[in-house]
Structure 1
Amino acid sequence: MNNNIETYIVDSFTDTPFKGNPAGVCVLSQTLLNAQMQLIAKELGLSETAFINQIEEQNIYSIRYFSPVMEIPLCGHATLAASKVLFEIFPEMEKIHFKNIQGLDLIIKRYGEIIEMEFPIYDTVPQNAPEELLKALGIEKISNSEFNKETNILLLEIESSELLKNLSPDFEKLKRSHNSINGVLVTAISQIDTYDFESRYFWPWSGTNEDPVTGATHTFLSKYWSTRLNKKKMNSYQCSERTGFMEVELISDKTLTIKSEAQIVLKGALRI
């Protein structure tokens, strides 16, 4: 007999279907094995799939994230997608607590179509970028290179968002250029009036080649740009092919909020 899992595909960080970053969301009624969740994520083939399971009262859920190749501790767009699904299932719900594998309590609130997520703030430290990595990205000059240990991501600032938009990495060379990071985030000040900074995230080591819009990188990217721009509230634009946007605000030394929208584009039953 087949077990059916209520499953969604949700485009996050966008107000338009088929833009932003698509995530899978599986609403569980029973616990799955890690191997089962990994196989489902690989089958769906999206950059991340979130698995949510009610653990206490109606608005408290466990959440786990799997890329097609590994478990990811924290994922912003899949959290946003899971929130959108629960707010759709329970229209009266206004607040959600997600407990992730790191023990974080991710607090989610709804304001009409806008969903607000509370995420931790992380620091970065200076770290040199290998020359081979820069060549693989197609970058000749960087303004800064830093590293975030919680996400194991290298941050590179370059001088122009136009250069950022036009990057076309050699992903095979990129993967060979470093053996101890989960991904590389490239960022620049935005030349668009309505945005403060832009970014693109490449992670052939642990997921897909490029993540269209990435919430988790803003755990350290927001503080990075807050220091440079002397702002607490900023608008971020991810200039990938699909594009996406969010508003970030540092509300304390340890916490920021990420606000954006999401669009459910598919609902079905996964049979296992």
Structure 2
Amino acid sequence: MKIPIFTVDAFTDEPFRGNPAAVCLLEDELEEGWHQKIAMEMKLSETAFIRKLHPTDNFTKSSRFGLRWFTPTNEVRLCGHATLASAAVLFRNKKNVNSSLTFVTLSGELNARQAGGQIILDLPLYSAYPQDLQEVEELVKVAVGNINVQDVRYSPDTKKLLVRLSDTYERSDLEKLNVNSQELLQTETARKVEGLIVTLKGKAGGKLESHDFYSRYFAPWNGVSEDPVTGSAHAVLSSYWSEQLGKEEMCAFQCSARGGELKISLRDDGRVDIGGQAVLVLEGSLTI
């Protein structure tokens, strides 16, 4: 069995930046165990599997598809960058004729549309609530050391812990953080937290900076030490920073080694549009 497979760098307009995702196009049903085996082989933060919902569907003409995401260790409920990568493969490689695509996922129906050079994702918006620092003090200490923390929030829907650094710090301070993913795993064993966001207020409006906030994201509980650019984390960050900044339109940058930019627009229906660019860097077939 041969499966068309692509590697797409998401949330960037440059090859080998942003967040790489593998995208598999399934012409036929795949035996359940193979999804995880393929994701382990790809060794990327996510491998996406696009499947037809009906036998007569077509990757060029149909507008609705099933979509699943797997890390090297497990299936996840939401992945923004692999959704963007999936839409990019359908729009640009398969020349899909529709202006908007709908993906049926574990997080419900997600829409993706083209807007100029960007692809806009319609994602759920998740709230993060005040978290007693004492309950997560050891985990926060492992993540940021002696850096001053201004706020700690928890998103129960996503099991993500948001740690905001003091506004006195600069982007370079966030970039220099050396986070030990194994220590995170050893510190948080109850799996209340399955993703750690470290974020910092940006300097939007300045001469050299144009981002409302910065972040880094760590998810060793899902087999991802540090994710380069994370759409699902921004489904939490968008809610938090909109409240903090009083803005519904924002530009964010994830400060991993690869880096990536996200355009954010909160919607009236309680969801969020997250836009970014994508670059196809590899195309081939997988034989199983």
| TM-score (structure 1 length as normaliser) | 0.95
| CA–CA distance in structure 2, aligned partners of residues 87 and 112 of structure 1 | 12
| CA–CA distance in structure 2, aligned partners of residues 38 and 13 of structure 1 | 24
Q: Is the 8 A contact 2:140 2:163 kept in 1?
A: no
**Match of residue 165 from structure 1:** 175
Q: What SS does structure 1 have at the residue aligned with 2:232?
A: coil
Q: 1:203 aligns with which of 207, 219, 222?
A: 219
- Residue 34 of structure 1 and its aligned partner are, at CA, apart by 3.0
Q: Is the 8 A contact 1:76 1:214 kept in 2?
A: yes
AA paired with 1:135? K
**Match of residue 28 from structure 1:** 26
Q: Is the 8 A contact 1:136 1:171 kept in 2?
A: no
Query: For structure 1, which segment, 135-144 or 195-204, has the greater mean C-alpha deviation from structure 2 after superposition?
Result: 135-144
**Match of residue 76 from structure 1:** 80
**Match of residue 230 from structure 1:** 246
Are 2:258 and 1:258 equivalent residues in the alignment?
A: no
Superimposed CA distance per residue, residues 127-166 of structure 1 (whole angstroms, 9 cap, x where no aligned partner): 2352322232233221111111121111100022332111
| CA–CA distance in structure 1, aligned partners of residues 63 and 217 of structure 2 | 31
Q: Is the 8 A contact 2:194 2:222 kept in 1?
A: yes
- Residue 238 of structure 1 and its aligned partner are, at CA, apart by 0.3
Q: 2:46 aligns with which of 28, 48, 64?
A: 48
| CA–CA distance in structure 1, aligned partners of residues 138 and 245 of structure 2 | 30
Query: How many residues in Structure 1 have an aligned counterpart in Structure 2?
Result: 269
**Match of residue 183 from structure 1:** 195
**Match of residue 145 from structure 2:** 139
**Match of residue 6 from structure 1:** 4
- Residue 37 of structure 1 and its aligned partner are, at CA, apart by 0.2
Are 2:130 and 1:126 equivalent residues in the alignment?
A: yes
| CA–CA distance in structure 1, aligned partners of residues 180 and 128 of structure 2 | 26
Are 2:238 and 1:240 equivalent residues in the alignment?
A: no
- Residue 253 of structure 1 and its aligned partner are, at CA, apart by 4.7
Query: For structure 1, which segment, 195-204 or 107-116, has the greater mean C-alpha deviation from structure 2 after superposition?
Result: 107-116
Gaps of at least 5 residues in structure 1 are: none
AA paired with 2:32? N
Are 2:184 and 1:174 equivalent residues in the alignment?
A: yes
Are 2:149 and 1:151 equivalent residues in the alignment?
A: no
**Match of residue 18 from structure 1:** 16
| CA–CA distance in structure 2, aligned partners of residues 96 and 111 of structure 1 | 13
Gaps of at least 5 residues in structure 2 are: none
Q: What SS does structure 2 have at the residue aligned with 1:200?
A: strand
Q: Is the 8 A contact 1:69 1:207 kept in 2?
A: yes
Q: Is the 8 A contact 1:238 1:244 kept in 2?
A: yes
**Match of residue 215 from structure 1:** 231
Q: What SS does structure 1 have at the residue aligned with 2:256?
A: coil
| CA–CA distance in structure 2, aligned partners of residues 35 and 250 of structure 1 | 37
Superimposed CA distance per residue, residues 149-189 of structure 1 (whole angstroms, 9 cap, x where no aligned partner): 12111110002233211110122211111121211000001
Superimposed CA distance per residue, residues 78-123 of structure 1 (whole angstroms, 9 cap, x where no aligned partner): 0000000000212533210001023x11111112321011011111
Are 2:92 and 1:94 equivalent residues in the alignment?
A: no
- Residue 260 of structure 1 and its aligned partner are, at CA, apart by 0.8
AA paired with 1:248? I
Superimposed CA distance per residue, residues 12-58 of structure 1 (whole angstroms, 9 cap, x where no aligned partner): 00010100000010000112233210000000000000000121550
| CA–CA distance in structure 2, aligned partners of residues 62 and 48 of structure 1 | 16
AA paired with 1:76? G
